[in-house]
């Protein structure tokens, strides 16, 4: 019997990487050239994940296109993941988003709390229909809904979730997105009634618009030295994370065997990198241009790599997981409404804050452009705030879900 590698058309690491990059580029090119409405409700992310699943699992004339296992997939997890975390987080600007959105930030934090509580409650309800370690998939999806795709991938690595669990998270994420995004967009039509119900002060929107006008994005065309500076910072932080993670994880294991199962070497590495990147976001490093765009591009290549490693058989648990996701998003919505009423915040800010949680930087600008276009820059900053919290709170959500059912 021939080995699986002999039945794969493309086996070389550079060839596999080329396929992953081509898949990611193709769907963005297709969305750009066709301007298809499909991609407004089914983001390219879903297709970028699903296509390598078929390329590595579907047999055509006795061959798969790419393998399920490759040194490229391992390299993406070990080296590319910390790199794009740094790239995404050094642009976090908490003072700017607080200045523009005001109490809208508090509503987003309420929504984040809703994601955490909702994840635990949903898992308690549906865990009986899922494999025992599906709390890892819950934590993985929480990463997306607290921060974004980068957090989802980081949490998947921290919790040691399987490729099948990541697949469930991606499927549930996109199904909920199809339902939730239109609701956020349609909420604009109920602005007057909502704002009256939430007791929004008459001058809130005017003050928010004035603050938005004062906020100017300073990202500009990069120069060659700036790329070198960016590379030095990013690779330096990633190297520090790789260097200090083993001794810290070893120390934690020696101090507390219970915590050793939570703070693995991978978890410590990602938390160290995340913390250092957030510290750097308060320094002139945050002015280096193009970091978010580069980081996002790496995220999509990473997603393609995760798809290539997935096993199709693991998706049989999708119905129960998706049911849990619907319960979950309902609880998030209740928390958003509670936040709006408690803090007297307008429907525009509430919709943008929810999009910053559930859809992250890809969706928050869409919702902001529909509600109030001058808030688009602030919506991106709000989404980046979610990125800053995701790597800490999403793994915690997963473990809380595990403890809630006694696993």
Question: Could you give the count of Cα atoms lying within 13 Å of 139 in the half-sphere of its Cβ?
Answer: 28
Q: What is the pLDDT of residue 312?
A: 67
When pLDDT is averaged across residues 315-340 and rounded to a whole number, the result is: 92
Q: Of 14, 201, 25, 244, which is closest to residue 102 (Cα–Cα)?
A: 201
Q: What is the pLDDT of residue 389?
A: 92
Model confidence at 2, in pLDDT bands (50, 70, 90)? very low
Question: Which of 225-229, 230-234, 313-317 is the least confident region?
Answer: 313-317
* Domain range annotation of the chain: 82-220+288-294+315-404
When pLDDT is averaged across residues 8-16 and rounded to a whole number, the result is: 90
Question: Which of 118-122, 125-129, 379-383 is the least confident region?
Answer: 379-383
pTM of this structure: 0.84
- Which residues lie across from 165 on neighbouring strands? none
**pLDDT > 80? residue 100:** no
Model confidence at 14, in pLDDT bands (50, 70, 90)? very high
Contact between residue 237 and residue 124 where contact means Cβ atoms under 8 Å apart: no
Per the model's pLDDT, the better-predicted residue between 205 and 183 turns out to be 183
Q: What is the pLDDT of residue 91?
A: 83
Q: What is the pLDDT of residue 407?
A: 80
- Which residues lie across from 63 on neighbouring strands? 60
**pLDDT > 50? residue 6:** no
Write out the two tokens for 178: 């199809």
Q: Print the SS3 string covering 190-228.
A: HHHHHHHHCCCCCCHHHHHHHHHHHCCCCCCCCCHHHHH
Q: What is the pLDDT of residue 23?
A: 94
If you average pLDDT over every residue of the chain, what do you get?
86
When pLDDT is averaged across residues 20-26 and rounded to a whole number, the result is: 94
Tell me the per-residue pLDDT of 236-254, one tens digit each, with 9 for 90 and over: 999 999 999 999 989 988 8
Tell me the per-residue pLDDT of 138-185, one tens digit each, with 9 for 90 and over: 999 999 999 888 899 999 999 999 888 988 998 899 888 888 988 898
Q: Express as a percent the part of the chain with pLDDT over 90.
A: 43
**Where is mean pLDDT largest: 14-28, 57-71, 165-179, 369-383?**
14-28
């Amino acid at each position: 019997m021939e080995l699986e590698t002999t039945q794969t058309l493309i086996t070389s690491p550079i060839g596999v990487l080329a396929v992953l990059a081509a898949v990611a580029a193709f769907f963005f090119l297709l969305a750009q050239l066709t301007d298809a409405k499909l991609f407004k409700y089914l983001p390219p992310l879903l297709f970028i994940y699903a296509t390598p699943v078929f390329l590595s699992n579907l047999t055509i004339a006795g061959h798969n296109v790419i393998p399920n296992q490759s040194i490229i997939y391992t390299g993406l997890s070990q080296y590319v993941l910390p790199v794009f975390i740094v790239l995404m987080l050094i642009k976090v600007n908490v003072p700017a988003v607080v200045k523009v959105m005001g109490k809208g930030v508090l509503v987003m934090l309420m929504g984040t709390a809703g994601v955490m509580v909702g994840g635990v409650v949903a898992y308690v309800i549906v865990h009986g229909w899922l494999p025992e370690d599906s709390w890892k998939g819950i934590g993985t999806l929480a990463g997306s809904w607290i921060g974004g795709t980068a957090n989802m991938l980081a949490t998947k690595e921290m919790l040691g979730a399987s490729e099948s669990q990541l697949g469930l998270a991606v499927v549930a994420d996109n199904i909920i997105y199809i339902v939730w995004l239109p609701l956020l967009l349609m909420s604009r039509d109920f602005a007057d009634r909502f704002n009256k119900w939430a007791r929004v002060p008459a001058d809130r929107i005017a003050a928010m618009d004035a603050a938005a006008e004062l906020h100017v994005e300073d990202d500009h065309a990069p120069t060659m030295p700036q790329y070198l500076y960016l590379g030095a910072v990013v690779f330096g932080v990633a190297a520090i994370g790789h260097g200090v993670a083993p001794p810290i994880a070893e120390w934690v294991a020696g101090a507390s065997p219970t915590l050793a199962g939570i703070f693995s070497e991978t978890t410590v590495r990602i938390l160290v990198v995340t913390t250092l990147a957030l510290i750097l976001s308060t320094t002139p490093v945050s002015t280096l241009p193009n970091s978010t765009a580069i980081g996002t591009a790496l995220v999509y290549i990473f997603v393609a790599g995760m798809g290539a490693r997935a096993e199709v058989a693991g998706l049989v648990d999708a119905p129960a997981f998706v049911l849990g996701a619907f319960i979950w998003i309902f609880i998030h919505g209740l928390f958003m409404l509670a936040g709006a009423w408690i803090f007297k915040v307008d429907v525009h800010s509430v919709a943008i804050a929810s999009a910053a949680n559930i859809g992250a930087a890809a969706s928050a600008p869409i919702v902001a452009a529909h509600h109030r276009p001058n808030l688009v820059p602030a919506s991106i900053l709000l989404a980046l705030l979610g990125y800053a919290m995701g790597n800490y709170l999403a793994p915690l959500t997963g473990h809380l879900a595990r403890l809630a059912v006694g696993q």
